[in-house]
Every structure is written in structure tokens, then in C-alpha cells.
């Protein structure tokens, strides 16, 4: 099974009426895969999964799958805070052409580690496609510990990866050290990706790859070739962008940036809102214009 190094957690395009724009989703998916993204994950945090209906998720999956080569891994977020619902969504995803599913930790419930283990194993058992765990305590209120990841992946061989977005390099290092070689550890934080790679992470599930996918792919190759000086230079060049994309709750800034670059992905859905004060995105505009001028980014419009 092929697992890409650079997964993009794709935004969900909406039209002027706030409806899901399936045609634009297909166009964006095609564009991303020619600009550094080796695989895509739909309906994750960046895809505004809490604001999508189940039918929208599956229609989005079908629309994007129809536009992409079968060689491009297309995964989708199916994790919720309801175990039965998550399992049902995961099976629907398999039936609708997904290559894998992303399973976020249950939010709001705040289960103990045993509850997390049972939640994920119940979803994954018998599932005909692979799964990636997703640990993001800032969103869910619960931290999936490395020892629990080991237990889950030993029990369910089709859980093949984890997106670690806990914000802790020591925890990521512990994960890399503890999990088996068949379990890929992905950084869930663009700003930590360079350091995560040097600690043994396999790849990244990225937001910034909407804008600088080629550069992230190049940085990855530099680390794999042990050219850490060049990789570090790329990381330092991109760090201000990484930081600015998370000035506001993701995906507010990245959707605004794509629209600024004439890639019409529309606004975010409530309860998220885009700031409209005069200077809200001035720093982001300066960074994007600098990247365009430096030839690091090719506009799509």
C-alpha cells in the first residue's frame, strides 16, 4: 500500500450561497496534485467536517474521486464523537471510493485512554480500507498517548498511520520510537514538520501545501537525502507563512489566501467567520506576494 509523504488536508469549497461547490472541489484537487500534494484528505479539520452533512461528505468524495487518477490516494475524515456513527461513515467511505479514512479522537466526550482504544478498534475492525488516527488535543480536549497508539495498531493492522498534532516534539519522538515500522507517523503541524522529519516522522498532513506544496516536497527530499542545511533553509523561509496561516482558526486564513490567489473556494461556514476588519490579512498578503515574487508559488488564476 502506497502512503504519500505529503498529504494535503483539503479545504471544502463553497459557492456564494454557502452550498458545497463540487466542480471547484474537483478542480482544486487536480491542481493540488500537480503542485506537490501526493495525496488528499477530504473532510478533515481544514475541510470543515463539523459543518458538513453526511451526504455532503460522500458526495464530495465521489466528485473528487471522479476527477483524480486512481494513483492519487484519496482519504476522507469519518471520525466523530459517536463510535457507531464513525463506523457507519467509514464503511460508507469505503463504498464510495475512499482509499482510507482519517479518524479524529472523540471530541467533547473526553474519554479515558481505554475508551479511545475501544473507540478506534471498534471502528477499524473489518474495515476494508486503511485508517489513520488523528490526535489533536487542542480541538478534542483529549490526548491520545503513544502507548495507546501502540495498543490500537497492534490490535488493528489496518490502522496504518497517525496524524500527530499534539504540539509536543517529545511526544512525537516517543511515538516514532514505540510504534512498529508499519505504522507511519505524520506531523499534523506544518511549523513542526522539519523537526518532526529529523526525528523520524514519515510525512505531513498539511495546510500550507495548498500554497507551497512543491516546497514542502523539496524539503522532505532534502531531509531524506541528509541535506539538512538546505532543508532548514526551506523551513526557515516558510515558517512565517506557517505561523500566519494559523493567526485565525483554521481554515479561515488558508481559504482567504486561496481566494486572494484567484482560486475560488468561497467563505467558511458558520460557526466560523472570516474577519472583515481592514488590516485582518495584511501580513498574509505580504507573505504571499513575497512568495510569488520569489517564484516560490505559481498562481492558479
H helices, E strands: number in the chain: 12, 8
74-99: pLDDT as tens digits: 999 999 999 999 999 999 999 999 99
Instruction: Flag whether pLDDT at 200 surpasses 80.
Output: yes
Task: Tell me how far CA of residue 114 lies from CA of 55, 135, 149, 159, in angstroms.
Answer: 31, 15, 11, 17
| Confidence at residue 301, expressed as pLDDT on a 0 to 100 scale | 40
- Rounded to the nearest integer, the mean pLDDT of the chain is 96
Arithmetic mean of pLDDT, 54-77? 97
What are the boundaries of each domain within the chain?
6-293
Query: In terms of residues, how long is the chain?
Result: 301
* pLDDT above 90 for 220: yes
Residue of 2, 107, 110, 134 with catalytic role: 134
Omega within 30 of 0 (cis) for the link into 251 = yes
Domain 6-293 coded CATH 3.20.20.70 = yes
Is residue 163 part of the annotated active site? The answer reads yes
What is the rounded distance in angstroms from the CA atom of residue 36 to the CA atom of residue 21? 23
Pick from 15, 45, 24, 68: which is nearest to 205 by CA?
45
pLDDT tens digits for 113-146?
999 999 999 999 999 999 999 999 999 999 999 9
Which residue of the set 22, 108, 110, 163 is catalytic? Answer: 163
The string of pLDDT tens digits covering residues 239-288 is: 999 999 999 999 999 999 999 999 999 999 999 999 998 899 999 999 99
CA distances from 257 to 97, 188, 298 (A): 30, 20, 13
User: What's the pLDDT band for 1 if we cut at 50, 70, 90?
Assistant: confident
Q: What is the pLDDT of residues 146-159, one digit of tens each?
A: 999 999 999 999 99
110 among known catalytic residues: no
Amino acid at each position: 500500500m502506497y502512503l504519500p509523504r505529503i498529504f494535503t488536508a483539503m479545504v471544502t469549497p463553497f459557492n456564494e450561497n454557502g452550498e458545497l461547490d463540487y466542480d471547484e472541489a474537483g478542480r482544486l484537487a487536480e491542481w493540488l496534485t500537480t503542485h506537490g500534494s501526493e495525496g488528499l484528505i477530504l473532510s478533515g479539520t481544514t475541510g470543515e467536517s463539523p459543518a458538513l452533512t453526511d451526504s455532503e461528505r460522500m458526495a464530495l468524495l465521489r466528485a473528487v474521486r471522479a476527477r483524480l487518477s486512481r494513483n492519487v490516494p484519496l482519504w476522507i475524515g469519518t471520525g466523530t464523537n459517536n463510535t457507531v456513527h464513525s463506523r457507519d461513515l467509514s464503511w460508507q467511505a469505503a463504498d464510495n471510493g475512499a482509499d482510507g479514512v482519517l479518524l479524529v479522537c472523540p471530541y467533547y466526550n473526553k474519554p479515558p485512554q481505554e475508551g479511545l482504544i475501544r473507540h478506534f478498534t471498534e471502528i477499524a475492525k473489518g474495515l476494508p480500507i486503511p485508517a489513520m488516527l488523528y490526535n489533536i488535543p487542542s480541538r478534542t480536549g483529549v490526548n491520545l498517548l503513544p502507548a495507546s497508539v501502540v495498543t490500537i495498531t497492534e490490535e488493528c493492522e489496518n490502522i496504518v498511520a497517525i496524524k500527530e498534532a499534539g504540539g509536543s516534539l517529545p511526544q512525537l519522538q516517543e511515538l516514532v520510537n514505540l510504534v512498529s515500522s508499519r505504522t507511519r507517523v505524520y506531523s499534523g503541524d506544518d511549523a513542526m514538520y522539519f523537526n518532526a522529519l529529523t526525528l523520524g516522522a514519515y510525512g505531513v498532513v498539511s495546510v500550507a501545501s495548498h500554497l507551497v506544496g512543491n516546497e514542502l516536497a523539496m524539503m522532505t527530499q532534502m531531509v531524506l537525502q541528509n541535506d539538512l542545511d538546505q532543508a532548514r533553509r526551506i523551513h526557515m523561509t516558510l515558517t512565517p507563512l506557517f505561523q500566519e496561516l494559523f493567526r485565525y482558526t483554521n481554515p479561515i486564513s488558508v481559504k482567504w489566501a486561496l481566494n486572494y490567489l484567484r482560486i475560488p473556494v468561497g467563505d467558511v461556514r458558520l460557526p466560523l467567520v472570516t474577519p472583515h476588519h481592514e488590516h485582518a490579512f495584511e501580513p498574509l498578503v505580504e507573505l504571499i506576494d513575497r512568495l510569488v515574487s520569489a517564484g516560490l508559488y505559481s498562481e492558479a488564476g
